[in-house]
Structure 1
């Protein structure tokens, strides 16, 4: 079968690879749609970052580059292994793309998303969504019901946002502040509205992205080039500051502003993956007892995320800005997202 594989920085190729075999306790999925993630773009531009190398193979898969990319995918069950009798061929499903040890302290706590040897299908080996077939353990298979597999490919990024919102403790009566209207900022905004948060403020300088923030549900959009964000948030929140805030950019000044704009005793959630060591003014946390939380991916969040979509509380179609075939993945996918990032949110690949 054909698969888009990462060979090294700037080098993604469509190769012929063996078709994976179903094993006991696993499900074979024919991938229909797979989204290109910002993590994929970082690997393409700067990698290997998370992708294992020959000098350091992944401890659970034993694999190293070249590896098949793609971890935001959904498809149709084509075969089940021995011991699997609760999903059937023809079922539409989304795969939670984890590779975990199941033995470390984090896994035993149920926090498998921070497993000591965490890996992802599509980044660490074990196949990937930019291929025709993926075989995954039954525990990672989530039925989509009547939802389509194009929507299914949006479940993974929406689960990232839902997880961050859940950790924040956001309530309908709260005010929420989201920094950045890139893909993660937008799905965070949509998730906040989906769980009933009444007032969501988004901070974003780019014109096209500001418009997308409104579509995603933002009640206010602030341009940091035009206003003092802390003053503007205080005015919107009647002097209190935001109950919860979300840093989705990975920029020191943005994190500093997020902390300052958060209400005393409030919670600031870092969702971004940082490319450098962050600088944090600790006294801004201490003097107002701000809770600063890290949020990584998702854990037990896929069923609730699917339910939000099925109940019409989130419109995933607003985030789909392109659909391409596997042969166009570099120019029509990776390069398009890199060169026109303000205009695109999620490009789906049909492998």
Structure 2
């Protein structure tokens, strides 16, 4: 999903991207952007996920939106210009609003998060800033390029794996963790045979 979203964004080396949310999709999107030579800023509430983004080296700046006005910080880091591209990976209204505010005029916003509720978009800001709004879903012929990136070592997924479980732990350690304690997990790998754990 992240690869297709980066393709849809048109992001290029030398640009600056803001990624809203550092779950599995946000972290992978950030890794792909870094592999392209894009400067990446990640905004995330979870301290575990901020640490993953920082430790994995997929972000140049990692922001806690409770501690800093993210849009203002992006403008400060870009000398008032704003982000070239932004990726909504959280399905949260506050994140969507922040990304629109942080984008430069004529910037591109790619929505990757799957929203359970209807989002509100400030169409006045969208029009006045001439923001290009795009959606990205699934993979759309991305496998060969992603396999090449992984095989070349330009992308390393291991830092994003927080849990490795056998099939017998699927409910308690897998689904329950993701549903009730998502702040403690990024990516959970399940081995049906229990091998490789």
Give the match for residue 274 of structure 1: 115
Select the residue among 186, 191, 197 that pairs with 1:345: 186
Distance in 2 separating the partners of 1:196 and 1:308: 14
Gaps in structure 1 of 5+ consecutive residues: 1-159
Give the match for residue 59 of structure 2: 218
Give the match for residue 40 of structure 2: 200
> Superposition RMSD on alpha carbons, in Å?
1.1
Question: Runs of 4+ in structure 1 displaced over 3 angstroms?
Answer: none
- Paired residues, number: 191
- For residues 292-322 of structure 1, the C-alpha deviation after alignment (integer angstroms, 9 at most, x for no partner) is 1011011111100010010111111112222
Give the match for residue 167 of structure 1: 8
Give the match for residue 189 of structure 1: 30
- For residues 157-207 of structure 1, the C-alpha deviation after alignment (integer angstroms, 9 at most, x for no partner) is xxx10110011000011000000111111111111112221x100011221
- Compute the TM-score of the two structures, normalised by the length of structure 2: 0.93
- Compute the TM-score of the two structures, normalised by the length of structure 1: 0.53
1:322 aligns with 2:132: no
Q: Do the aligned residues in 1 keep the contact of 2:49 with 2:186 (CA within 8 Å)?
A: no
Pick the structure with greater CA Rg.
1
How much has 1:343 moved relative to structure 2?
2.3
- For residues 89-148 of structure 1, the C-alpha deviation after alignment (integer angstroms, 9 at most, x for no partner) is xxxxxxxxxxxxxxxxxxxxxxxxxxxxxxxxxxxxxxxxxxxxxxxxxxxxxxxxxxxx
Q: Return the structure number with greater helix share.
A: 2
Distance in 2 separating the partners of 1:215 and 1:305: 22
Gaps in structure 2 of 5+ consecutive residues: 193-197
Q: Return the structure number with greater strand share.
A: 1
Distance in 1 separating the partners of 2:83 and 2:2: 18
